[in-house]
Amino acid sequence: MSQNTVETERLILRRFTTEDVDSIFRIFSDAELNTFLPWFPLKDKAEAIEFYSRRYADCGSFSEGIGFAVCLKQDNFPVGYVHVSGDDSHDLGYGLLREFRNKGIMREAVSAVIELARKEGIEYLTATHDVNNLRSGNVMKAVGMKYKYSYVERWLPKDFDVTFRMYQINLDGNEERVYLKYWNKYPRHFIEKDIV
């Protein structure tokens, strides 16, 4: 495994390239997938090119943010993505086209990225999901992330309130660590009972 390419049993995780613009458009223009993303769906290929340049062109290490196209080995064609931000949240985000869901693909991809982060010495990763996006929360649980707290954020540019659940996995053995930036930033925060 390198920071540029990761292989699993069924998948190749690799950097997006300019040749993937059509795939980027397909993924990020999908209205259903976009429901739980902070930005609006891409409208055309020009927006996809701009999105690639802004989000993926220089996204190649954990220190600056790292992004992977999730591809099936059979064709190396992107059907989703996994991204880890380069800031102190080490926020893990992911998405998958609907026709590839419910097959364990995202769990497999995210598990591989977590293992890469561990090998690179990243101490922890966080991830958040909209309380209405239980599928995303199920991936977090399946890869060993633990629920820490919930908070309400005004989501921009969409401009509405979203209640997020924050999950975390500590990769250095420090199980007491809790990333509190969202808790401290957003006054409407709380711990939900019966969330695992």
Indicate left, alpha or beta for 152 from its phi (over 0: left) and psi (-120 to 50: alpha).
beta
Split at pLDDT 50, 70, 90, the class of 1 is very low
* pLDDT per residue as tens digits for the range 32-76: 888 898 888 999 999 999 999 988 887 778 888 999 999 999 999
Domains of the chain: 5-190 (3.40.630.30)
d(CA 130, CA 141): 14
Cβ(63)–Cβ(86) under 8 Å?
yes
Split at pLDDT 50, 70, 90, the class of 3 is low
* pLDDT per residue as tens digits for the range 16-35: 999 999 999 999 999 888 88
* pLDDT per residue as tens digits for the range 108-136: 999 999 999 999 999 999 999 999 999 99
Closest C-alpha among 178, 176, 16 to residue 89: 178
Cβ(20)–Cβ(69) under 8 Å?
yes
